[in-house]
Amino acid sequence: MTTQEFATETAPRRVVEAEFRLPRFSEIDLQPAKKVAGEVLLTGLGLGVLLTRAVIKGVRNAHDAGREWADSDAKAGQAITQWMDGDEDAPDTSASHAVPVLPIAEYDQLAPTQIAAALATLDRGAIETVRAYEAEHSNRQTVLAAIDNRPATMS
């Protein structure tokens, strides 16, 4: 038999029938699944309650520790307590600190000779700022001498 003859020959067809029956929901016992779902829900709620209690307890402990510190000999703690109580005689604990802006860019990375060269472009106020900063931080004698030995005719 050739391929062409096989293709033209009709083979008998067979029909296969199958029947599938799905169970009805009324026939399925959902009680075990409901019980497990309920237990999972209760466990989740319990975790939420325990977590909330732990957070509240932690916040109370933190507050008590802060109050204990404030009641100790710490001056800042006493000032905070007095401020919270509305005591107008509470000491002023505000502090300010002036941070000088150096007139020479990247000052701390420069060599003393580079700083000495940059001094020629500065006015008297800027030079005083540089001198104060140098004396307080690096205290390089070559830089301080360059500032102090500047001619009086320069600004």
Pairwise CA distance, residues 135 & 132, whole Å: 5
Tell me, what amino acid is at 80? I
CA distances from 7 to 2, 11, 113, 133 (A): 9, 9, 101, 102
Q: What DSSP character marks residue 55?
A: H
60-119 confidence digits (pLDDT tens)? 999 888 888 777 766 777 777 777 777 666 556 566 666 668 899 999 899 999 999 999
Q: Give residue limits of the domains in the chain.
A: 30-84, 107-148
Joined together, the tokens standing for residue 91 give 């000491």
Task: Judge whether 110 and 104 are in contact, CB under 8 Å.
Answer: yes
Closest by Cα among 154, 148, 153 to 134? 148
Which residue has 């075990």 as its token pair? 32
Task: Judge whether 117 and 125 are in contact, CB under 8 Å.
Answer: no
37-55 confidence digits (pLDDT tens)? 999 999 999 999 999 999 9
**Overall pTM > 0.85:** no
The pLDDT of residue 14: 80
Phi, psi angles (nearest 5°) of residue 82 = -65, -40
